[in-house]
Amino acid sequence: MPNEIALNVLGQPLVACSFDPLTGFFRDGCCKTNAEDVGSHLVCAVVTNDFLQFSLKRGNDLITPRPEYRFSGLVMGDQWCLCVKRWVEALEAGCAPMIKLESTHIKALETVPLTELQKYAI
């Protein structure tokens, strides 16, 4: 389905999340997904130090640079496509980062209601 236009949670064409750092399951700057994306990298978040520490404690180090994967490590303020379930975990732990609705994939609505996402919209 290469010609299919990805939609955001607002039902509009998906807007890129970040090119620097380059994010997305496909490393194309967008929070696009397909069946291979078992983590469902759907939520375009603006990461905070609290969230980065939370993710590290959960076993996902987003801070340490990994040059072999062309990953420079994230710092507060970076935009990044997060797994929707990790965002929900962070929400439940009180450290969910703000998100860009226009860059968050519509499939996130299968897990989180739009009203909840809107509370964290920038």
- pLDDT single digits (tens) 61-87: 999 999 988 889 999 999 999 999 999
Nearest to 14 by CA among 112, 104, 81, 99: 104
Looking at residue 69, what is its pLDDT?
81
Looking at residue 70, what is its pLDDT?
81
- Residue pair 24/80 in contact by the 8 Å Cβ criterion: no
Determine the average pLDDT of the residues in 101-111. Answer: 98
The pTM (predicted TM-score) of the whole model is 0.93
> Containing domain of residue 13, as a range?
1-122
List the end-to-end C-alpha distance of the chain, in Å, as a whole number. 31
Q: How confident is the model at residue 3 (pLDDT cuts 50, 70, 90)?
A: low
Taking only the tens place, the pLDDT of each residue in 26-65 is 999 999 999 999 999 999 999 999 999 999 999 999 999 9
CATH of the domain at 87: 3.30.56.110
Looking at residue 98, what is its pLDDT?
98
**How many CB atoms neighbour CB 63 within 10 A?**
14
- Residue pair 63/69 in contact by the 8 Å Cβ criterion: no
Looking at residue 1, what is its pLDDT?
39
Domain count, the chain: 1
Looking at residue 45, what is its pLDDT?
98
| CB within 8 Å of 41: residues ≥ 6 apart | 24, 25, 31, 33, 81, 82, 83
Query: Residue type at 9?
Result: V
Looking at residue 62, what is its pLDDT?
96
